[in-house]
Amino acid sequence: MPDIWLPYGKTEVCVRVPLENFKDEIKTAIAEGAENPRGEIERSIKNPIDVRGLSEIVKSGDKVVLALNIFDPSISNLIVSIILSELTQAGLKSGDLTIILAQDPFNLRTDRMKEQIKNELLPLGVNIAFHDGLSECVYVGDTSSGIKAYINKVFIDSKVKIIASSIEPNPYTLYSGDGYAIVPGLSNMDTVGQLLMPILNIDDPLDALGGGILSGIAEASRLVEVDFSVNVVRNLRGEVVKSFAGDMEKAYREAARSADALYKVQVERKADAVFVSPGGSPFDVNLFEAFKCLENSLRAVRRNGILVLVAECVDGYGDLDFYEAISKFRDSPLSLEKSLKKRFSIGGFMAYRFIKASRKFDICMVSAIPDYYASENLGLKVFRTANEALNYALEMLGKKSKISVIPCGNLTIPVIVGSNAAPEKK
């Protein structure tokens, strides 16, 4: 009987799956961090893909802006210091560089991290600004699908534009990298809403990537003519594995290939039930953060199957819009959809996605969260131990049911292959 340990807050919980029921453990690849992270990032910046080097792009007197979409103080410091070194070679001073710490509306931890990053960067003498809902944005044009792009004015008004991102899984855009630093990183929420509303009722958002979300992000990014980009790929420990720099789209494609090898996991056939942990703290600190793993994890579960979310959620819901949408519209997703069309919010969007998913799958939780949060508001069954949840799944689905386990759901992208074309159980 395999004992599977799942991250839970700052500890782990065990689920003992009988051998005859155990299907697989869906885990990302193990990748060691670069021996010299600074050297890896510096190598990519000094050898850019299909663009001139930064020291050649800029001229004395230019005002340069860097949109930073990496919420790690030490890595942010590495990137900014290397870029600053390149700029000084062209005769620029540290005061000629403005760092805009981008927003990531899917990540509530960024506000806290921004202050830490600011403190880390201040000694470098650069200008630092935050982009948020109050930042001034200007209209830069429409995409071919009619999305009106409004982007941070400071970024648009700068002579030389650079973006730097960490390429990490996002359930709606595949990865939060490349143009993600611009939309949603530097855009207003109206632009974000126009991008996301078309996938509100799509079963799998990744099915819409080619013709929808990614093309919208890419087109909006092209409207602002980015001069240089840096894309960092990290492992589960947050260590730099590889770095790719240069042309915005070409460098991102190379980074995405590297990220695919790390985060995508091929899975044969869907399971009857899946136990998934977002990855422990900080990924399961609240329901908003923890629920991000549902979109990818549900692709590994058959229709009408059971998904068990193993998440501590010591901070409750975490996001006010998410809480209000769940509380008010849980029994009326159509009303929530109408509300989002009037005033879009990420919290409301995620609440809608959860409500729709809960009507197609039996979603449960293993958590110490008060019943009021999960049972009464969300309509979820809450178990205090993973083995109690396992007994429930086997009772509901049958003693021969197959169980998959995903230890780090927020950073895992299951890709169904092989027998995925076979009809699912009804």
In sequence order, what DSSP letters do the residues of 33-101 get, joined into one string? PPSSHHHHHHHHHHS-BSS--HHHH--TT--EEEEEE---HHHHHHHHHHHHHHHHHTT--GGGEEEEE
Q: Which helix (H) or strand (E) holds 276?
A: strand 271-276
Contact between residue 344 and residue 337 where contact means Cβ atoms under 8 Å apart:
no
CA distance 155 to 220: 14
169-170 and 174-175: which strand pairing?
Answer: antiparallel
Domains of the chain by start residue, with CATH: 3-29+264-421 (3.90.226.30), 52-226 (3.40.50.11440)
| Of 141, 143, 136, 206, nearest in space to 175 by CA | 206
The tokens for 318 are 């975490």
CA distance 141 to 144: 10
The tokens for 271 are 């399971």
The pLDDT value given to residue 238? 92
CA distance 63 to 52: 18
Instruction: Mention every residue, 6+ apart, whose C-beta is less than 8 A from residue 361.
Output: 298, 301, 303, 304, 305, 306, 307
| Of 137, 116, 218, 213, nearest in space to 174 by CA | 213
Tally the C-alpha atoms within 13 A of residue 302's C-alpha that lie toward its C-beta.
Answer: 19
| Of 312, 319, 321, 324, nearest in space to 288 by CA | 319
Helix (H, G, I), strand (E, B) or coil at 27: coil
| Of 98, 86, 72, nearest in space to 43 by CA | 86
**Number of neighbouring beta carbons within 10 Å of residue 83:** 25
CA distance 220 to 148: 8
CA distance 409 to 405: 9
Contact between residue 218 and residue 179 where contact means Cβ atoms under 8 Å apart:
yes
The pLDDT value given to residue 235? 94
CA distance 244 to 255: 6
**Number of neighbouring beta carbons within 10 Å of residue 399:** 9
CA distance 408 to 200: 25
Give all strands of the β-sheet with 228-234 in edge-to-edge order: 127-130, 97-101, 64-69, 160-167, 228-234, 240-246
Residue type, 329: F
Q: How far is CA 154 from CA 114, 141, 205, 241, 361, in A?
A: 18, 17, 32, 31, 45
| Residue 237 per-residue DSSP state | T
Residue type, 308: V
Burial 334-350 (b: 16+ CB within 10 A, else e): eebbebbeeebbbbbbb
Tokens 């359930």, located at residue = 171
Query: Average pLDDT by consecutive 10-residue portion of the chain (426 residues)?
Result: 90 96 94 96 97 94 95 95 95 95 90 90 95 92 92 97 95 85 93 90 69 76 93 95 96 95 94 97 94 93 95 93 93 95 95 93 92 79 94 96 97 81 39
The pLDDT value given to residue 202? 84
- Please list the residues that pair with 68 across neighbouring strands: 101, 164
